[in-house]
Amino acid sequence: MKATAAAPANIAFIKYWGRKDAKLRIPYNSSISMNLSASTTTTTVEFSKVFSKDRVELVEEERFSDTEIDRVVRQLDVIRGKAGKNIFARVATKNSFPKSSGAASSASGFAALTTAAIAALGLTLSEKELTILARLGSGSACRSIPHGFVRWETGNTSEDSYAHSLFPANHWDLRSVLVIVKKSAKDVSSTAGHDKATTSPLFSKRLQELPKRMEAVMRGLKEKNLSLLGPAIEEETLSMHGVMQTQTPPLFYWTDATKHIMEQVARWRKKDLPVYFTIDAGPNVHLICESQDEKKVLNALQSIGGIESIIVNKPAQGARLIKDHLF
């Protein structure tokens, strides 16, 4: 009754911000993302009648907070409920990137946890069912289950709010150069932020504009056309952060370094370097470019101060079971 899964984080090209059902994590809009090759979570889950309670630990990093442990236990409860089994678990987790840095550790975390726990209980679910279960742990986690470039359909009920692959990882050799400007955990979690999204006067405007941007992202991906995809993902970032910054209470995730990089990106483009930014709920910037421009982007970043580290990601496969257990 033991299994281990590895799952990638993902970067959203069309963002999930705000949900029509908070408990079931059903979003107001569909979203699109790319799985990240160098930002993964590995989780081992073992269920045993010998355990008298759940034990959740983080390997080689600072410990999980009580709130984080509660959230993992709630997800284990959902999975135990699905399996009809009342049995405790030991869970160990390892991240390849800083937790809560805006590098989407909840996405890779709940995708890996759900995949491993289901296998440890001996259940076989379809990919669609797995994405629905992972979504209950963290919305964006459903997008870390399928391969490559993924779309999460908003849906109206739990059963039709699921994620599926649009294209495999090898469809387009894009890069997401993740620039970490601040490693410390965010002050406000995205979970708390989602619940206030509709207090922003920009929220309904954002929903109105989304179909057009969604169409540009879908076509940009299909045609592998960065000059179509790029402007749409930057607009989308500004739209989501516009909502965040005008909701009550407002959420300001950017630092001076974040803004400086956003400004530089526009200058680099003027000098014929095709690169675009996107930012999730945090200060760190994902620079999206094609593989042939990766080195130029890394070179350009050398002149910028305030950078803690850089993680170069390629499109990646989704969550999968692996043989090497963490304990």
CB of 139 to ligand DP6, least distance (A): 3
Closer CB to ligand DP6, 166 or 300, in the complex: 166
Taking the complex as a whole, how short is the minimal distance between the CB of residue 75 and ligand DP6, in angstroms?
A: 11
The residues that touch ligand DP6, with contacts defined as CB under 6 A, are 12, 15-17, 25, 31, 104, 106-107, 138-140, 190-191, 194, 280-281
Q: Where are the beta strands (DSSP E) in the chain?
A: 2-14, 19-21, 26-27, 31-47, 55-58, 89-95, 149-152, 163-167, 174-180, 276-278, 285-290, 309-313, 320-322
- Min separation Cβ 194 and ligand DP6, Å: 5
Q: Which is nearer to ligand DP6, 12 or 91 (CB)?
A: 12
Q: Which residue type sits at 316? A: A
**Nearer to ligand DP6 (CB atom), residue 111 or residue 300:** 111
Identity of the residue, 96 or 190, whose beta carbon is nearer to ligand DP6 in the bound complex = 190
| Smallest distance from ligand DP6 to CB 108, Å | 11
CB of 2 to ligand DP6, least distance (A): 26
| Contact of 5 with 42, CB cutoff 8 Å | yes
Q: Is 267 exposed, middle or buried (0-12, 13-18, 19+ CB in 10 A)?
A: exposed
Exposed, middle or buried: residue 256 (CB in 10 Å: 0-12, 13-18, 19+)? exposed
How close are the terminal C-alpha atoms of the chain, in Å? Answer: 13
44 or 144, CB closer to ligand DP6? 144
Alpha-carbon distance of 255 to 266, in angstroms, equals 18
Where b means 16+ CB within 10 Å and e means fewer, 158-173 reads: beebbbbbbbebebbe
Nearer to ligand DP6 by Cβ, of 17 and 149: the residue is 17
19/90 with CB nearer ligand DP6: 19
- Least CB distance to ligand DP6 at residue 235 (A): 15
* Residue 198 DSSP SS3: helix
Q: Minimum CB separation from ligand DP6 for residue 19, in Å? A: 7
Other CB atoms within 10 A of residue 2 CB:
15
Contact 105, 41 (CB under 8 A): yes
